[in-house]
């Protein structure tokens, strides 16, 4: 299977504990284990990103056992760039680890080809191997069905002697980045996604991509951030209120404080809870954003992050978490001198200012 634009190949490794593939990509070798898609459920807490616009279940965010399964978009090199960030780049900046989701690797499932969809005839044994398909929840009628995974070696399923299977023509692989679900164990979490940066396209973006991104939000450069989406739970109505990306793009420098207040001091709570939870979460969020600002102005001279987001979640019980997410456009500093990410920093400055305003506004309320 071609993971990125360059050559890619994979080989099977099997022992009595687990079966997995070593996928060779442009970014080095990668261990991929199987997952049955029937074990995954749709993530109900996504408020922004490509999955919110996808009709296909397997291309949306999925969840299982307090983990998020984020589909690697087929044919998108930038999706594998995010794997590269978690697998390799972040090792150069361990100070970022407390502020990003935990990473659990990559897993592969198989889904049926849709009517009219052409199978990838260049796919190698990682797609065709029967035992791997079985572990990913796919049944085939190959004679290999009776063979246990402990009897398989990388040589016995090499591309040269892999049998031709019906699954080759009817199934396609989908790979997932597996990450920590920071909303796990929260009671109807409120969620906000903030796209960070004065520009939201990478340094290798095409002129068309630049025009597309710059047209999305006229205040992006001024604020260094925009609200991509949010949802707030109303405990009286027992339902969510959703704020989509069009709402976020309607926010101006004059209304940004009120927009954040709507999220942090939710009208979905009674007044006492609204103020108590709002003050608590605002204080915690301000502390975290200040820590990130310190890192980006004092330590992080290795990476520049474009189109990354701050994901903020909390619930009425004052559970709270905030992480930086989305690392498909991370550019490493290869110069022999410090280069700080001023693009990302501007958004942090705006958020700190907004939170300080809210903190002062509610400081006198009990």
Q: What is the pLDDT of residue 19?
A: 73
Which has the closest alpha carbon to 3: 163, 255, 173?
Answer: 173
Give 260 or 46, the one with higher predicted confidence: 260
Question: Who wins on pLDDT, 346 or 79?
Answer: 346
Lowest-confidence segment of 51-60, 178-187, 310-319 by average pLDDT: 51-60
- CA dihedral (309, 315, 317, 319) in degrees, to 10, reads -20
C-alpha R_g of the chain? 23
Say if pTM beats, i.e. exceeds, 0.85: no
* Average of per-residue pLDDT across 309-315: 98
Is 159 in contact with 124 (CB distance < 8 Å)?
Answer: yes
- Beta strand 28-34 pairing with 103-112: parallel
How much of the chain, in percent, has pLDDT values that exceed 70? 74
- Higher-confidence residue of 323 and 121: namely 323
Q: What pLDDT digit, counting tens, does each position of 74-110 carry?
A: 666 676 899 999 999 999 999 999 999 999 999 988 8
94 within 8 A of 303, measured Cβ to Cβ: no
Given a cut of 80, whether residue 128 has pLDDT beyond it is no
3-state secondary structure of 337: coil
CA distance 206 to 204: 7
The whole-number pLDDT of residue 21 equals 76
SS3 content of the chain, % helix, strand, coil (to 5): 35, 25, 40
Q: What's the confidence (pLDDT) of residue 46?
A: 63
User: How far is Cα 260 from Cα 240, in angstroms, rounded to an integer?
Assistant: 17
Q: With bands split at pLDDT 50, 70 and 90, how would you rate the model's confidence at 18?
A: low
Domains of the chain with bracketed CATH: 9-180 (no CATH), 190-361 (3.30.470.160)
> 59 with 37: CB under 8 angstroms?
no
187-205 pLDDT per residue, tens = 999 999 999 999 999 898 9
If you average pLDDT over residues 129-142, what whole number do you get? 51
Q: pLDDT tens digits, residue range 264-279?
A: 999 888 899 999 999 9
Tokens standing for 234?
């109303």
How far apart are the C-alpha atoms of 271 and 235, rounded to whole Å?
A: 12
Strands annotated E in the chain: 9-14, 19-25, 28-34, 41-42, 62-64, 67-71, 103-112, 171-180, 190-196, 225-234, 239-243, 303-305, 309-314, 320-325, 330-332
Placement of tokens 């490493």 in the chain: 332
């Amino acid at each position: 299977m071609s993971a990125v634009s360059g050559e890619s190949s994979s080989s099977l490794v099997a022992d009595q504990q687990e079966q997995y593939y070593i996928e060779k990509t442009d970014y080095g070798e990668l261990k991929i284990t199987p997952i049955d898609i029937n074990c995954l459920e749709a993530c109900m807490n996504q408020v922004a990103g490509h999955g919110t616009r996808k009709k296909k279940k397997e291309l949306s965010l999925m969840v299982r056992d307090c983990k998020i399964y984020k589909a690697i978009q087929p044919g998108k090199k930038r999706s594998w760039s995010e794997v590269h960030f978690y697998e390799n780049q972040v090792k150069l900046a361990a100070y970022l680890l407390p502020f990003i989701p935990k990473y659990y690797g990559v897993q592969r499932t198989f889904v049926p080809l849709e009517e009219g969809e052409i199978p990838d005839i260049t796919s190698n044994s990682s797609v065709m191997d029967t035992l791997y398909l079985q572990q990913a929840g796919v049944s085939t009628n190959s004679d290999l069905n009776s063979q246990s995974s402990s009897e398989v070696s990388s040589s016995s399923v090499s591309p040269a002697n892999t049998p031709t299977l019906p699954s080759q023509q009817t199934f396609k692989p989908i790979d997932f980045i597996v990450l920590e679900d920071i909303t796990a164990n929260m009671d109807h979490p409120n969620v906000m996604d903030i796209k960070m940066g004065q520009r939201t396209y990478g340094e290798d973006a095409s002129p068309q991509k630049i025009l597309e991104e710059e047209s999305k939000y006229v205040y992006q450069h001024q604020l260094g951030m925009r609200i991509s989406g949010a949802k707030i739970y109303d405990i009286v109505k027992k339902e969510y209120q959703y704020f989509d990306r069009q709402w976020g793009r309607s926010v101006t420098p004059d209304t940004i404080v009120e927009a954040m207040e709507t999220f942090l001091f939710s009208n979905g709570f009674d007044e006492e809870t609204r103020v108590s939870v709002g003050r608590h979460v605002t204080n915690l969020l301000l502390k975290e954003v200040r820590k990130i600002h310190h890192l980006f102005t004092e330590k992080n001279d290795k990476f520049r992050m474009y189109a990354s987001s701050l994901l903020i979640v909390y619930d009425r019980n004052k559970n709270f978490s905030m992480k930086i997410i989305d690392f498909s456009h991370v550019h490493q500093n290869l110069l022999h001198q410090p280069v700080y990410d001023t693009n990302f920093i501007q958004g942090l400055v705006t958020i700190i200012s907004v939170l300080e305003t809210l903190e002062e506004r509610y400081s006198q309320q009990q």
